[in-house]
Amino acid sequence: MELPLVAPLRQTQPQPTISDVASEVRRQWQASRLAQRLKRGDRVLVAVGSRGIANVASIVRATLDYLRDLGTRPAVVAAMGSHGGATAEGQRELLASYGVSEENLRVPVLTDMATVQLGTNSWGEPVYWDKNAYEADAVVTVSRVKLHTDFRGRYESGIVKMLVIGLGKRDGAAQHHRWGVRGLRDMMPETVKVVLEKTRFQAGLAVLENAREETARLQVVDRDELLEVEPKLLQEARALMGRLPFEQLDLLVIGEIGKNYSGAGIDPNVVGRLLMECQTTPDDPPHITRICALDLSPESHGNGTGIGIADLTTDRLLAAIDPVPFRMNNLTACFLWRSKLPLSFPTDRDCLAAGLATCWQPNAQALRLALIPNTLELADLWVSPPLLAEAKKNPHLEVAGDLRPLPFDAAGNLHQEVLFPHSVRGRRGR
């Protein structure tokens, strides 16, 4: 089967957006109880994780500026479990790639992996917390609230998870992940109760993003309100998240996978594949027969977690995987199915050809093909004629150009920067 012609689409549904993020960060902190709990000279740590948050450097800088204005001595502490290879150097490098560095922010950035044991939770399991955070006079977090890639629960990705898994470092991450889904969904809320009782955590800045991965809402959540407020924010985040605009695809082509796009490399909430041991994938759309993944983002630093969610890939993606962070992340998480290596091919053209040949749609005129840059940036995509006809009936989809052949270079690889000039990869190339 020959590769079909494709046309560009743009998702145009209006999205809530904060125009002046730094000013809103300050306003949120000023309206909180934080100033009443701090005194001049206090050492206050701002916990920042490895998730790709839009405007994260600006958000952290505005938080640090507010703390300086209160007369405190702020610093940043890394809040991530096994990411960055579970090493201080790897986590420092990961934060710096987001603009969270000592040079950029003019404060210490603490990435030590040492923890203290706070006690035990109701399961009888030890509770670990970052040693630097434990010894500080106060701790606040900058946390994106969103659906988790591994489970559904009252608390998923957000402030609670950062307090338990992020500031638990590798010890806390391993402690919970060794229980599988139960450790995250059921034990994590029990552990956070110990953290709230035994530490100087004061408040978290919750960040919600819209479907275009822009800052849509900011809210400081006080420690005393955390367990009641975060589930409401999670429901807001669920309504805001980006989605593919089609319920069924024969073939989905993902330009890049990576930890900067999703903790799972490929966001299961977007592609409709949970792929978790002993867990049943919900029968919600989209339903995708075949997925091709072409590249690993350099921002992932070799961590190819989630590659197993794809069916087919390229030799160069597999070659880009660094086995040290890849294995560390997956063995700590105890979720292994998603990182089994798929069949690979020497070029993008070969990979797509195999996808077409195995996607259970032998009728070329009926082929439902979509291409996206990654599973985070979904506003712009390219589609085959059957999807184009469907898109023209959707008031929130704009046809942005005519049908044309896929742009391959002489080596048989896609010109992704041509297809997606405004994506992370397109901007990186400039």
What range does the domain containing 351 cover? 243-429
Q: Are residues 55 and 126 in the same domain?
A: yes
Q: In this structure, are residues 100 and 56 in contact, taking their beta carbons and an 8 Å threshold?
A: yes
Name which of 296, 283, 408, 280 is nearest 342 in CA terms: 296
- What pLDDT score was predicted for residue 263? 84
Q: Are residues 107 and 151 in the same domain?
A: yes
Q: In this structure, are residues 74 and 142 in contact, taking their beta carbons and an 8 Å threshold?
A: no
**Looking up tokens 């930890």, which residue turns up?**
259
Per-residue pLDDT tens listing for the chain (430 residues): 789 999 999 999 999 999 999 999 999 999 999 999 999 999 999 999 977 799 999 999 999 999 999 999 999 999 988 777 778 998 999 899 889 999 999 999 999 999 999 999 999 999 999 999 999 999 999 999 998 887 889 999 999 999 999 999 999 998 998 999 899 999 999 999 999 999 999 999 999 999 988 999 999 999 999 999 999 999 999 999 999 999 999 999 999 999 888 889 999 999 999 888 888 877 889 999 999 999 999 989 899 999 999 999 999 999 999 999 899 888 888 889 999 999 999 999 999 999 999 999 999 999 999 999 999 999 999 999 999 999 999 999 999 999 999 999 999 999 999 999 999 999 997 7
Residue 7 placed within a domain: no
- What pLDDT score was predicted for residue 149? 82
Q: How far apart are CA 33 and CA 328, in angstroms?
A: 39
Q: Are residues 140 and 267 in the same domain?
A: no
Q: Are residues 269 and 193 in the same domain?
A: no
Identify the CATH number of the domain in which residue 121 sits. 3.40.50.11440
Q: Are residues 224 and 292 in the same domain?
A: no
Residue 12 placed within a domain: no
Handedness of CA 378, 381, 385, 389 (dihedral sign): positive
- What pLDDT score was predicted for residue 150? 79
Residue 228 placed within a domain: yes
Q: Are residues 151 and 249 in the same domain?
A: no
- What pLDDT score was predicted for residue 148? 85
Last residue of a domain, one of 211, 240, 269: 240
CA 362, distance to chain mean position in Å, is 35
Q: In this structure, are residues 386 and 367 in contact, taking their beta carbons and an 8 Å threshold?
A: yes
